Amino acid sequence: MTYVVTEDCIKCKHQDCVSVCPVDCFYEGENFLVIDPVECIDCAVCVAECPVDAIVPDDAATQFWIDLNAELAIKWQDNNITEIGDIPADAAEWAGVPNKLDLLIR
């Protein structure tokens, strides 16, 4: 099992999740983060930190989001993130907005 970042993170990217991860397994894109499923130890600490509930266990995620986290964790391997950086100025406006996948910058 692993934990998975899902669509609600896109363009919200609050980053509260990254500082609590004991194994530093978050990787950063321009407007989304992913969890490396190989490194995640399934502690679930990050879940409650996300203001938009974007992080779920893999048994509550679709295979698409499981695969996307794995794929982008490799693609973004040089962009490990462990501390909160700049939060998008319009993050609150994107909270809960559906169908954001087309806006994901890979």
Q: Does 54 bind ligand F3S (CB under 6 A)?
A: yes
Task: Closer to ligand F3S by CB, 1 or 96: give it.
Answer: 96
Give strand ranges (E) for the chain.
Answer: 3-5, 26-28, 33-35, 55-57
Which entry of ligand F3S, ligand SF4, none binds 81, CB below 5 to 8 A by partner kind? none
Nearest to 91 by CA among 7, 12, 5, 17: 12
* Phi and psi, residue 54, nearest 5°: -85, -15
Nearest Cα neighbor of 103 from 21, 16, 4, 8 is 8
Q: What is the x/- site pattern for ligand SF4, positions 34-73, by CB under 6 A?
A: -x----xxxxxxx---------------------------
**Binding interface with ligand F3S (CB under 6 A):** 5, 9, 12-17, 33, 49-50, 52, 54-55
